[in-house]
Structure 1
Amino acid sequence: MTNPLSVPLSRRTLFRGAGAAAIAGGLAACAPGGTTGSSSLPRSSATKPPSGEITIWDRTGDLYKVFDQAIASFTAKYPQVKVNHVAVDVNAKLPATLISGAGVPDGAFYDDALLTGVAPHLYDLSQLIEQYKPDIAPYKLGVVTVDGKIVAVPWDLDPGLLFYRDDIVTQAGVDPAGLTTYDELLGAARTVREKFPKAKPIHLENDQFLAQLWIDMFANQQGGAMIGADGKLTIDSDPYRNALTWLDKVRSEQLGTLAKYTQPTDLQTQDNGTQVFVPWAQWFVFAPQQLLKASKGKWRATALPAWQSGGARAGVMGGSSFVIPAKAKNPELAWRLYEHLVFSKEGYSTVYGSNEVYPNGLNTSIPSYLPALDPNAPLFKPLEALGGQDLWKVAVEAGKQVPGGYTVPTWWGKAVDYFGVNVQKLLAGQMSPDEVLKTSASQIQKNLMGPN
């Protein structure tokens, strides 16, 4: 593994590499005739085995190596296909390449939050994916659908989970099974602090971008999003208000550790036991596996609490898919590759199963293809870093609860300058939840969306 931080950092650097945010946000204006491309990629009627050559871009680091091994399973099945697998900074390079039309790959791994910005330059895959639609997680199907067209092959699902220090909560007399609502989590944090006065048990994110992504997870858990299906701004709404009000309580009662994800303060407080509860995406497991020292093996995962009794106990934080550019030289072969990786048992088992990079399997996400989510047929093994816990069952159960209907606006990354910044002001005690929402809504409408 060349970069032990590549999974969390990949989420953190969305929109940040080489001006990707500005380019992605402006691509829709570069395409004539509407907001999405009209090129539809139909299913091939050819009956003979595929042959030819394709170029595929994947993100550098550990995932490149995982996909390299998985691609080998495809070429073993179809030896007449040659795949040029290239490691690049996809988020930074792909938007500019789509605009220039020079050196366009046949397929690329791409972050979901950027899809709407590049949709005009991608193939419409609706016909190809139609047969799989009933078996794709509703949230993920919504994310890859732009203006009624499916513009990407959905890959991972990144359900939110509640990670906690098992040793600390046990000593405090807290039963993790009882943390079924956020009010109960708040009560548990108070109990932990009574037992350990120096504790500030709940993680509060101090990075503007990640805080926005984090709160979007809380909103998604309640069926909310920054914009509705009609494209109108919905950030000033109960899902966001509930989340910010709760975080403000954590702050005002000094029950939270304000730290940037995986940065020294974050890791130090998790290791020394003053930070105990981390509601975060599944990819948090990278920290106890690779970064934490004193607390390795002491962390566990359970479902997120619900915002109200009986509510959903999962939301999504991040995710990626595979895109096929409209100017690809061999899009049919790219589709065959991605169909193999995502929708065939051989393919997704190779991606998520034991491999050279992850000997116990890729455990930082789960597939978005529902037939792969068999709780009794895990694709990765229990984690020593979680005390031998079977994370597969926890994540699969959470993934199946993720609400659908989420839409990513083209300006999501640019909203960090407003909503992400204002959330940090709330966590510093400088703004109230209502002030954050009303101010952010006004700023986003004026600077990113234009007149109603």
Structure 2
Amino acid sequence: MRRSKIVALGLMAVLLPASACGGGSQPDNSEPATFDTSPSGELKAWGFDNADDVGKARLDYAKSKLGQVTISLDATGFDAQKFTTRLASGDVPDVVQMDRQFVATYAAQDLIMPVDACFSAWKMDPKTQFYPAVTADVSYQDKIWAVPQFFQPAAVMLNQRVLDAEGVQPSEIDTSKPDELIATAKKLSTADGGKPTRLGFDAVPTGQGPLWLLSYGGRLVDDQGKPALDDPNNAKAIAFLKKLADAQGGYAKVKSFSDSFDFFGKNNQFVSDQVAAQVDAQWYVNVLSPYVKQVKLGAVPFKDQNGQPFAVTGGSAFVIPVKAKNPDAACAWMINLVTDEAWMAAADARAATLKKTPGAINTGLFTGSPSADKAIKEKYVTGSGNAGFDQTIQTFYEVVGNGKSLGASPAGQTIQSELNNAIVAALLGQKTPEQALADAQAAAMRAYDKIAG
């Protein structure tokens, strides 16, 4: 996600409290053989923070399906250290929302339950309910450990006003043709006194790094979940990113300039013509929709080096801690938050909100479920009257079915953090891509060994 924060994992802070409440080959409170689909009692949920109209509608829908359950919702954000501390103290919630990159970490420590039986009890097939790559995000050692939600694909958003002025066609913004892309980015870039005033192509390397690695055939983990940051193809991707940054003034200047963008405001980089093209997640279309009259948008899919469009999955998920007191209610609540009916209730709520805002554009919801996405698109994404916005929205719908998972690893968050460190070091010229990735691999393996070893 653009401008997303990499969660700072104090590894020992996560691991040491965990030793008091799990570990070994079998958790103390192993997965029930079956889940009761008529739960009762109290459900304690944690991590569903900052619920907007979409979230509140889904919460209301799930509550209506759990009539005999009293739901207590702790809406504070998930915190890794707090999670293990709560488990160690016995203050265990029944269900927790967290980033999917955490799921395998806690699965490897026997701190959460596998949920295959939960899906079976509610007759939901995760292989069809979710995009395959989304299910892969929460699969580890042949089990599914969480109920996933959302998939915000990335694509290349275009400032068509700038492209038109420079005589550049959208087809020339092609990530599968690196040499041509660098030349086009250089043509579209402007500077004043050596400082960038417009980026021809904002690759967002520390926000979309995994996308670039996978586009070159690289990977973050192997099939067993072990770190694989030293894959030679990863170095090829980072070497390209350095060439691209150097062609636009160098990474230090590019980063300083992009950090100055009014990303969420009225003087954002598309309104102010500070970018000609930028890699963005789908949600950013919503940010720009209030400025529809001030921008001229377009989009092209992000492609791998074979010319195939794709996107990298990511998002949040719900897990059940092994010591949950009411796993039946937790299972029922999670499932009823991600049914097609729950998502349509959310889409109805979003449409009602947009109806109150003159000129607002319905860009759809990207739920992680292909059937829900299709139904919502057919009902609500009916055209805004702005050809550029409509084409941009359609581009994201075209790539969402081509998702690739980063893979599930016990060291997932550490791998992401170390990858960013490697990218920055290489783009600044402090290390070669190979050296930076070797150092990142060593750090990621230390984390992996401490958790899964």
| TM-score normalised by the chain length of structure 1 | 0.80
Alpha-carbon distance in 2 for matches of 1:384, 1:105: 47
Q: CA deviation at 1:214?
A: 2.0
Residue in structure 2 matching 1:134, options 127, 131, 135: 127
Alpha-carbon distance in 1 for matches of 2:303, 2:270: 20
Tell me which residue corresponds to 2:420. 420
CA, structure 1 residues 43+115, in 2 after alignment: closer, same or farther (shift >3 Å)? same
CA, structure 1 residues 55+194, in 2 after alignment: closer, same or farther (shift >3 Å)? closer
Q: Deviations over 1:256-310 (max 9, x none)?
A: 76337984346465543232221133233354357xx79954343331133233x
Q: Quick one: which amino acid aligns to residue 24 of structure 2? A: G
Q: Structure 2 matches for 1:38-53, cutoff 5 A?
A: 39-44=30-35, 50-53=39-42
Asked if 1:332 is matched to 2:320, the reply is: no
Asked if 1:143 is matched to 2:134, the reply is: no
Q: Quick one: which amino acid aligns to residue 351 of structure 1? A: A
Q: Deviations over 1:62-110 (max 9, x none)?
A: x3553222221233344333322331121343332223221x2221211
Q: CA deviation at 1:371?
A: 1.8
Q: Deviations over 1:5-36 (max 9, x none)?
A: xx866x415236xx5x5544567655232387
Q: CA deviation at 1:221?
A: 4.3
Tell me which residue corresponds to 1:82. 70
Asked if 1:91 is matched to 2:79, the reply is: yes
CA, structure 1 residues 259+59, in 2 after alignment: closer, same or farther (shift >3 Å)? farther
- Contact (CA 8 Å) 2:226, 2:448: kept in 1 or not? no
Tell me which residue corresponds to 1:188. 184
Alpha-carbon distance in 1 for matches of 2:127, 2:211: 23
Q: Deviations over 1:148-173 (max 9, x none)?
A: 22110011112121122121112222
Q: Deviations over 1:327-376 (max 9, x none)?
A: 2222212222221221x221111234443766679969612222223285
CA, structure 1 residues 422+238, in 2 after alignment: closer, same or farther (shift >3 Å)? closer
Q: CA deviation at 1:401?
A: 0.8
Tell me which residue corresponds to 2:301. 303
Structure 1 window deviating more from structure 2 (300-309 vs 190-199): it is 190-199
Q: Deviations over 1:384-436 (max 9, x none)?
A: 999542655322321211124x3233334334664322321222233332232
Q: Structure 2 matches for 1:145-160, cutoff 5 A?
A: 145-160=139-154
Tell me which residue corresponds to 1:351. 346
Asked if 1:161 is matched to 2:155, the reply is: yes
Q: Quick one: which amino acid aligns to residue 146 of structure 1? A: Y
Asked if 1:109 is matched to 2:103, the reply is: no
Residue in structure 2 matching 1:341, options 337, 353, 369: 337
Q: Structure 2 matches for 1:270-419, cutoff 5 A?
A: 270-285=270-285, 287-289=287-289, 297-309=295-307, 311-316=308-313, 318-342=314-338, 344-355=339-350, 366-374=366-374, 377=378, 388-389=389-390, 392-404=393-405, 406-415=406-415, 418-419=418-419
Q: Quick one: which amino acid aligns to residue 389 of structure 1? A: D
Q: Quick one: which amino acid aligns to residue 160 of structure 1? A: A
Q: Quick one: which amino acid aligns to residue 211 of structure 2? A: M
- Contact (CA 8 Å) 1:203, 1:275: kept in 2 or not? yes
Give the secondary-structure state (helix, strand or coil) at the position aligned to 1:85: strand
Give the secondary-structure state (helix, strand or coil) at the position aligned to 2:157: strand
CA, structure 1 residues 288+138, in 2 after alignment: closer, same or farther (shift >3 Å)? same
Residue in structure 2 matching 1:66, options 47, 54, 65: 54
CA, structure 1 residues 59+44, in 2 after alignment: closer, same or farther (shift >3 Å)? closer
Q: Deviations over 1:110-142 (max 9, x none)?
A: 101111222222121012335413212222211
- Number of aligned residue pairs: 427
Q: CA deviation at 1:244?
A: 0.6
Give the secondary-structure state (helix, strand or coil) at the position aligned to 1:301: strand
- Contact (CA 8 Å) 1:227, 1:407: kept in 2 or not? yes
- Contact (CA 8 Å) 2:310, 2:400: kept in 1 or not? no
Tell me which residue corresponds to 1:3. none
Q: Quick one: which amino acid aligns to residue 168 of structure 1? A: V
Alpha-carbon distance in 2 for matches of 1:226, 1:97: 30
Q: Quick one: which amino acid aligns to residue 104 of structure 2? A: T
Alpha-carbon distance in 1 for matches of 2:300, 2:158: 8
Q: Quick one: which amino acid aligns to residue 96 of structure 1? A: T
| TM-score normalised by the chain length of structure 2 | 0.79
Alpha-carbon distance in 2 for matches of 1:437, 1:235: 6
Q: Quick one: which amino acid aligns to residue 398 of structure 1? A: V
Asked if 1:124 is matched to 2:114, the reply is: yes
Give the secondary-structure state (helix, strand or coil) at the position aligned to 2:283: helix
- Contact (CA 8 Å) 1:422, 1:436: kept in 2 or not? yes
Residue in structure 2 matching 1:55, options 44, 47, 55: 44
CA, structure 1 residues 366+77, in 2 after alignment: closer, same or farther (shift >3 Å)? same
- Contact (CA 8 Å) 1:352, 1:362: kept in 2 or not? no
Alpha-carbon distance in 2 for matches of 1:221, 1:39: 39
Name the % identity. 19
- Contact (CA 8 Å) 2:217, 2:234: kept in 1 or not? no
| Structure 2 residues not aligned, in runs of 5+ | none
Question: Root-mean-square deviation (CA), in Å?
Answer: 3.8
CA, structure 1 residues 41+164, in 2 after alignment: closer, same or farther (shift >3 Å)? farther
CA, structure 1 residues 86+447, in 2 after alignment: closer, same or farther (shift >3 Å)? closer
Q: Quick one: which amino acid aligns to residue 402 of structure 1? A: G
Asked if 1:174 is matched to 2:147, the reply is: no
Structure with greater contact order relative to length (CA < 8 Å, sep ≥ 6):
2
Tell me which residue corresponds to 1:258. 254
Alpha-carbon distance in 2 for matches of 1:285, 1:232: 35
- Contact (CA 8 Å) 1:122, 1:325: kept in 2 or not? yes
Structure 1 window deviating more from structure 2 (330-339 vs 225-234): it is 225-234
